[in-house]
Structure 1
Amino acid sequence: MATEHNLAGALRKARKARGLSQEDFSDVSSRTYLSSLERGLKNPTLDKLAELCEVMQVHPVTLLTLAYAGNARQADHVLAQVRRELETILSKVDL
């Protein structure tokens, strides 16, 4: 998997693509905190990431894929890798 990621840029890109302002997240985050996330100064917890994604109406995996891939072509590679890894993990676990 790629070692570099840009969660800050992915968050900003997804927010803008949804036509949302930083103030639109006021139910789950302060504008100052969201600004810090988008500038890469802070990293959200998984719970906070889920809340932010809920506001944007995107799955957290979508945002993480965007952070690791950056574009649609690379996203195909990332998602294919995730599928292979999930299949391997789940095939070795008693469910």
Structure 2
Amino acid sequence: MQTDSTCNNFGAALKAVRTLKRLTQEDFGELSSRTYVSTLERGLKSPTLSKIDELAEVLGVHPLTLLTLAYAKNPNRVATSLVIQEVDLELNGLFKGG
């Protein structure tokens, strides 16, 4: 379920990774306009899965990295590890019977 805070968290994750990678909003020009990237970073819009994939490609990270940072809500190693552990447990439970 997506909430406004999830959208804001995705935008913050996108901006954090973009900044750490020393990329500008203009570096996404082939993918989308600077205005669109700015809109995402401010949490005004939410991207589709295919757009997340494209953004991650420009950033040079796996799409799940962006999503993990967004759902961690506090981009630090402990918070992201907890999200990854939760997903791992859920996946193990889903595939346990298979």
Fold-level match, TM-score > 0.5? yes
User: Under a length normalisation based on structure 2, what TM-score does the superposition of the two structures give?
Assistant: 0.86
Please list every run of 5 or more consecutive structure 2 residues that lacks an aligned counterpart in the other structure.
Answer: none
Counterpart for residue 62 of structure 1: 65
Query: In structure 2, what residue type is equivalent to 1:78?
Result: V
User: Once the 2 structures are TM-superposed, how far is the Cα of residue 32 of structure 1 from its aligned partner?
Assistant: 0.6
Please list every run of 5 or more consecutive structure 1 residues that lacks an aligned counterpart in the other structure.
Answer: none
Counterpart for residue 37 of structure 1: 40
Q: How many residues align?
A: 91
Percentage identity across paired residues of the two chains? 51
Output the aligned Cα RMSD: 1.4
Distance 1:30 1:91 in 2: 44
Structure with more relative contact order (C-alpha pairs < 8 Å, separation 6 or more) = 1
Counterpart for residue 91 of structure 2: 86
Regions of 4+ moved over 4 Å: none
User: Under a length normalisation based on structure 1, what TM-score does the superposition of the two structures give?
Assistant: 0.89
